[in-house]
Amino acid sequence: MEVKDITNRDQDFAKWYTDVCKKADLVDYSSVKGSMIIRPLGYAIWEEMVHVLDQKFKETGHENVQMPMFIPESLLNVEKEHVEGFAPEVAWVTYGGKEKLEERMCVRPTSEVLFCEHYKKIIHSYRDLPLLYNQWCTIVRWEKTTRPFLRSREILWQEGHTMHATKEEAQAETLQMLNIYKNFQEEYLAMPVITGKKSEKEKFAGAEETYTIEAMMYDGYALQNGTSHYFGQHFAKAFGIEFVNKDNKLETPYQTSWGCTTRMIGGLIMTHSDNNGLVLPPKIAPWKVIIIPIGEVDEPLKYLEQQLKENHITYKVDNSNKTPGFKFAEAEVKGYPIRIELGARDLKENKVTLVRRDTLEKITVAVAKVLPKVKELLEVIQQDMFNRAKERRDQMIYEVKDYEELKKTAATKPGFIKINWCGSEECENKIKDDTTMKTRCLIENEAVDGACVVCGRPAFTKVYIGKQY
RNA sequence: CGGGAAGUAGCACAAUUUGGUAGUGCACUAGAUUUGGGAUCUAGGGGUCGCAGGUUCAAAUCCUGUCUUCCCGACCA
């Protein structure tokens, strides 16, 4: 998928995206406005993500819990910045059966306050800390406009919530989880991502620091694919959470939260897929291989299936009564990383045809070599997909030193722009008014080499800016 | 919530300009022939034209209102 012209992005790219989702049968539109139905293939991809992430969370000491779905208004109101950030987009429940509720409740837009209320009950001593919790659940944010996976009213996600005795430990947790997300997305989703701190203006409502994972889509737009927040003691103080330390003195604990959603599926599509349909990285594809039998091939099929099973390579067999051509096209629409064309004609010569989904390259191998070749290809495809995505992204990051150049680049070249920045919200707003771009994240490991591109005052950091989903 | 576009069969669309029996392709059902890049033939089933009013002998078509969807913007993961 090549995006040639940023001005042409609008309808064509959006249409391509929704087409891929629909044709691959990842998603369907619900009669409930703003909500989507995740179809079996879409859900299977999510389950793969859940499986890997959940394992990583557990390896780092986290436990899964389930909190309530409803938040009483008074509870949401406890932390001022938080409620101001979320109140505009929550859904309210006002009736229970026929009874009008004395106090209305919102459907959780995120669960910080629910966790805090719970923490208050269970934290007494430094011995109770740290608390490392996670929950897999659905949240509701009343978005005005929606798009499959990228923005919907019901969001299927994971939210981690932790409490620590010290600031250092909480900050380390925030960064640890950020890195887990980054590694997961790069290693499993083959999506190169940029991580860093959000500006004051862009950070989470109630957080002291928000770290973000930013991926770049084909069209140069940014997709925020996860966040990790350090809250300091904001919520803990608002909720009156305290613990007794080793010296028998009262202290307030330090809090983090971090989350990522099915939006990653959208990111996957807009990073890898092409005009033939979905392209899934092998490590996250629910089925690594699709076998398409052509003609009478019962015995070799059995043999191949057995080999794949023994090696724990997930696969599907397309036994439908369609023509081979139809099945090939269908396999591409659905994004199976490797297609095996198991045909009587090839088998006469003791051969099998493999096809890479990412490059559509056809590879003919001897029957005995199929399994090692599949294993090799799964690794090669994964690596190649990441490399291609990274190369494309890097080519779409520009550095500018002058405001006119910034405006011109923003208008003509899709992608991120790297600038020196003074740190003021005033300059952020000016950039947004002129270009619709926002700051993505601060760049920590690069020294400033000039004045603020917008106002000319001394810069304090470099920052990426970009348009976003 | 501002600006644009569109709603006709499961899907994609035509018919609307000029009011007059609701159509095509894909999909679906049955049978036959096919099978290495989206098969062919035959025979079928499926629509109160988004909804509500109005104009008219007559409305998918004209008018008014309304709802929904999509795109851009704002907001957000």
| Two tokens, residue A323 | 């023509």
Q: A130: cis peptide before it, omega within 30°?
A: yes
A195 touches strand B (CB under 7 A): no
Residue A3 has a pLDDT of: 45
Distance between CA atoms of A372 and A381, rounded to whole angstroms?
14
Residue A7 has a pLDDT of: 41
Whether the per-residue pLDDT at A2 is higher than 60: the answer is no
Distance between CA atoms of A423 and A425, rounded to whole angstroms?
7
A225 touches strand B (CB under 7 A): yes
CA distances from A80 to A75, A113, A201, A238 (A): 11, 11, 16, 9
Q: How confident is the model at residue A145 (pLDDT cuts 50, 70, 90)?
A: confident
Angstrom distance, A33 CA to B61 C1': 30
| Two tokens, residue A333 | 């629409």
A150-155 average pLDDT score: 87
Q: Which amino acid is at A390?
A: K
| Two tokens, residue A284 | 């996250």
Distance between CA atoms of A54 and A64, rounded to whole angstroms?
9
| Two tokens, residue A441 | 């994240």
Distance between CA atoms of A3 and A435, rounded to whole angstroms?
19
Cβ-based burial of A7 (10 A; exposed 0-12, middle 13-18, buried ≥19): exposed
- For the ranges A237-251, A277-291, A425-439, which has the lowest average pLDDT? A425-439
Sign (positive or negative) of CA dihedral A266, A432, A410, A457: negative
For the segment 229-248 of chain A, residues whose CB is within 7 A of strand B: none
A424 touches strand B (CB under 7 A): no
Residue A98 has a pLDDT of: 81
Q: A163 and A131 in contact (C-beta within 8 Å)?
A: yes
A33 touches strand B (CB under 7 A): yes
Q: How confident is the model at residue A450 (pLDDT cuts 50, 70, 90)?
A: very high
A10 touches strand B (CB under 7 A): yes
> What proportion of chain A, given as a percentage, has pLDDT over 70?
97
CA nearest to A70, candidates A86, A55, A92, A54: A92
Angstrom distance, A140 CA to B77 C1': 11
Mean of the per-residue pLDDT values for chain A? 92
| Two tokens, residue A6 | 């940023």
Sign (positive or negative) of CA dihedral A118, A122, A124, A127: negative
Residue A11 has a pLDDT of: 57
> What proportion of chain A, given as a percentage, has pLDDT over 90?
76
A299-315 average pLDDT score: 96
A347 touches strand B (CB under 7 A): yes
Residue A399 has a pLDDT of: 95
- Length of chain A in residues, anyone? 469
> pTM to 2 decimals?
0.94
Residue A455, C-beta contacts closer than 8 angstroms, at least 6 positions apart: A422, A424, A426, A427
Whether the per-residue pLDDT at A154 is higher than 50: the answer is yes
Residue A321 has a pLDDT of: 85
A214 touches strand B (CB under 7 A): no
Q: How confident is the model at residue A219 (pLDDT cuts 50, 70, 90)?
A: confident
A32 touches strand B (CB under 7 A): no
Any idea which nucleotide's C1' is nearest the CA of A346? B36
Any idea which nucleotide's C1' is nearest the CA of A150? B77
Q: Which amino acid is at A388?
A: R
For the segment 155-184 of chain A, residues whose CB is within 7 A of strand B: 155
A346 touches strand B (CB under 7 A): yes
Q: Phi first, then psi: give them for residue A458, nearest 5 degrees.
A: -60, 140
Residue nearest to nucleotide B35 (CA to C1'): A323
pLDDT digits (tens, 9 = 90+) for A371-400: 999 999 999 999 999 999 999 999 999 999
Angstrom distance, A144 CA to B74 C1': 10
Q: Is A190 helix (H, G, I), strand (E, B) or coil?
A: coil
ipTM for the complex shown: 0.83
Protein-proximal positions, strand B, CB < 7 A: 1-2, 34-39, 68-77
Angstrom distance, A185 CA to B38 C1': 33
A20-37 average pLDDT score: 81
pLDDT digits (tens, 9 = 90+) for A323-353: 999 999 999 999 999 999 999 999 999 999 9
CA nearest to A154, candidates A228, A69, A71: A69
pLDDT digits (tens, 9 = 90+) for A244-268: 999 999 999 999 999 999 999 999 9
Q: A8 and A413 in contact (C-beta within 8 Å)?
A: no
Any idea which nucleotide's C1' is nearest the CA of A226? B77
Count the helix, strand and coil residues of chain A and give each as a percent rounded to the nearest 5. 40, 30, 30
Q: Give all domains of chain A, ordered by start, each with its CATH number.
A: 11-68+116-272 (3.30.930.10), 289-381 (3.40.50.800), 397-466 (3.30.110.30)
A171-190 average pLDDT score: 97
Distance between CA atoms of A350 and A367, rounded to whole angstroms?
6
Whether the per-residue pLDDT at A5 is higher than 70: the answer is no
A14 touches strand B (CB under 7 A): yes
A77-99 average pLDDT score: 87
Residue A378 has a pLDDT of: 98
Angstrom distance, A139 CA to B65 C1': 36
A329 touches strand B (CB under 7 A): yes
A323 touches strand B (CB under 7 A): yes
Residue A73 has a pLDDT of: 92
Whether the per-residue pLDDT at A298 is higher than 80: the answer is yes
Beta bridge partners of A271: none
